[in-house]
Structure 1
């Protein structure tokens, strides 16, 4: 059975980079200090395809601009073309945050407001940003001031023309600050494209990320554990939120149908998902599994 529903997103949820949309303000916690180039490549290429402008704010010690473009382009030509046309822009965090060696919150917010307005005036659908926040410890900005700044930029996202990922090196900033950053950013971004996050909820569970070859075992194990937590004497009701699953291979989809179909008569597994995943599950026989209810929402997932 299929029904069309709308449900609020959980606050502070972790999502794959592909799920970010205009108006989202997200943080990313990294270990090791190296930029997550595969994530930035997916983010950049998706944004360019949507006719959005991309601004990458890198640390001065990162790769030179030309090397960044070559890495993101990987011989395809689209990123290099965007760089030449101005759809892709590269700046250094020192010029955006501390151009004279001092950090002023109002000046930084004005700079980003100008960037959003410039992207709009140039005809782009919006502005997508990634910003390396390693400038802060270099100039002695304490944690409380940095948290206050991150909270203060909320008005920039009031109109859906701006999306930003602020990324922090956990070794440099520490676990306490990164945990606090998760509270002032509505979203956290996964640092890998082949990552899976499983979360228990009051009425079931949420699975986000990618259910592919690398995460197949984890995905199936999570399903088995979730659906085995039931009273063997009667039916079970379980809500499975897959709205932030950006990829699901056919094997994982079959496992979902099989496990739902093995539940006692009268059980109900409600799957909240995007239109594409709902369509594929129906094509695989979801309508023939009486225990399964597909709750279709607007976002899509690749299968």
Structure 2
């Protein structure tokens, strides 16, 4: 389903497309999906020589089990923890050290953490925090939302990236919506999902166009590029710069739909080098109605 216009919503991206300076929000319902997203987020930060701070709820996996979950069959994440590049802590010790939440105290904690990262020579700080601590007795949720607003300018410091995640099963719809509203970036809940958003000149498609999202992707694309009844040419833009993966079937659908348009029509696809390679490999250069505008990967 196509969502509301992009200018009315937070920027929605797959976790792989988060950039330094992004203060992002994600709401989970599926534990497996959550760990897949956190694993991708963590491993991306480690590969970029960023320090990663993972703040888990006390009821979550132990530190050792969390590392094993993110490592799979390797020891890359474990090595990062041993070197100090990855730090795992618990939300209660960070946010509620004396059993209560103090917004000003918490804001004061952030600056020294960033200074330590810079002094240690890392390329940046990548933090992810489970916000379930906000439901503990005595915590004012309004103050938590105020804190989320206040921490935003700190996260936008060059080299800092942040995710605040909320469990939809525990937080009310009202509080999930309130938290989403104060974050300029929303992370997609699953690695295998696709997000389709209207823009003034066309659509923005983010995420992953693969077997699990193929039907949604192709149906939306068919509706968007359906040949006008008048047969007259038209101009349409597809922003796919935040589409991390597109399987051959979905790519072929795009090429075929563009080729069926009147010859003077133009479908401009903004994409990264990988999608450009896929589309050109399937013959997009032979379709005059299709134009690829390639941007460098972030």
Per the normalisation by structure 2, the TM-score is 0.92
Q: Is 1:206 the counterpart of 2:204 in the alignment? A: yes
* 1:66 alignment partner, one of 64, 67, 70: 64
Structure 1 unmatched runs, 5+: 1-7
Residue 33 of structure 1: CA displacement? 6.7
- Whole-angstrom distance in 2 between the partners of 1:112 and 1:35: 28
SS at match of 1:299: coil
- Whole-angstrom distance in 1 between the partners of 2:251 and 2:287: 13
SS at match of 1:228: coil
- Whole-angstrom distance in 1 between the partners of 2:56 and 2:215: 36
Residue 156 of structure 1: CA displacement? 1.1
Residue 201 of structure 1: CA displacement? 2.6
Q: Which residue of 1 aligns with 2:154?
A: 156
Q: Which residue of 2 aligns with 1:175?
A: 173
- Whole-angstrom distance in 1 between the partners of 2:9 and 2:211: 29
Deviations 1:203-249 (A, max 9, x none): 22121110112222221111111111734331122111111111111
Is the Cα–Cα contact under 8 Å of residues 116 and 161 in structure 1 kept in the other structure? no
Over 3 Å counting, the alpha-carbon distance change for 1:9 and 1:121 in structure 2 is farther
The 10-residue stretch of structure 1 (194-203 or 49-58) with the greater mean CA deviation from structure 2: 194-203
Residue 9 of structure 1: CA displacement? 8.8
**CA RMSD in angstroms, aligned pairs only:** 2.0
Q: Is 1:233 the counterpart of 2:231 in the alignment? A: yes
Over 3 Å counting, the alpha-carbon distance change for 1:102 and 1:11 in structure 2 is same
SS at match of 1:90: strand
Q: Which residue of 1 aligns with 2:98?
A: 100
Is the Cα–Cα contact under 8 Å of residues 30 and 167 in structure 1 kept in the other structure? yes
Q: Which residue of 1 aligns with 2:135?
A: 137
Deviations 1:102-126 (A, max 9, x none): 2111221222222222122111111
Is the Cα–Cα contact under 8 Å of residues 33 and 171 in structure 1 kept in the other structure? no
Structure 2 unmatched runs, 5+: 1-5
Moved over 4 A (4+): 8-11, 32-35
Is the Cα–Cα contact under 8 Å of residues 210 and 246 in structure 2 kept in the other structure? yes
- Whole-angstrom distance in 2 between the partners of 1:202 and 1:262: 23
The 10-residue stretch of structure 1 (52-61 or 244-253) with the greater mean CA deviation from structure 2: 244-253
Residue 139 of structure 1: CA displacement? 3.4
Over 3 Å counting, the alpha-carbon distance change for 1:104 and 1:31 in structure 2 is same
- Whole-angstrom distance in 2 between the partners of 1:90 and 1:50: 18
Deviations 1:144-166 (A, max 9, x none): 22221111012212322211110
Once the two structures are superposed, the pairs formed by residues 71-90 of structure 1 within 5 Å of their partners are 71-90=69-88
Over 3 Å counting, the alpha-carbon distance change for 1:55 and 1:103 in structure 2 is same
Over 3 Å counting, the alpha-carbon distance change for 1:32 and 1:139 in structure 2 is farther
The 10-residue stretch of structure 1 (199-208 or 54-63) with the greater mean CA deviation from structure 2: 199-208
- Whole-angstrom distance in 2 between the partners of 1:167 and 1:232: 48
Over 3 Å counting, the alpha-carbon distance change for 1:142 and 1:20 in structure 2 is same
Over 3 Å counting, the alpha-carbon distance change for 1:28 and 1:64 in structure 2 is same
Q: Is 1:292 the counterpart of 2:275 in the alignment? A: no
Q: Which residue of 2 aligns with 1:270?
A: 268
Q: Which residue of 2 aligns with 1:31?
A: 29
- Whole-angstrom distance in 2 between the partners of 1:141 and 1:34: 28
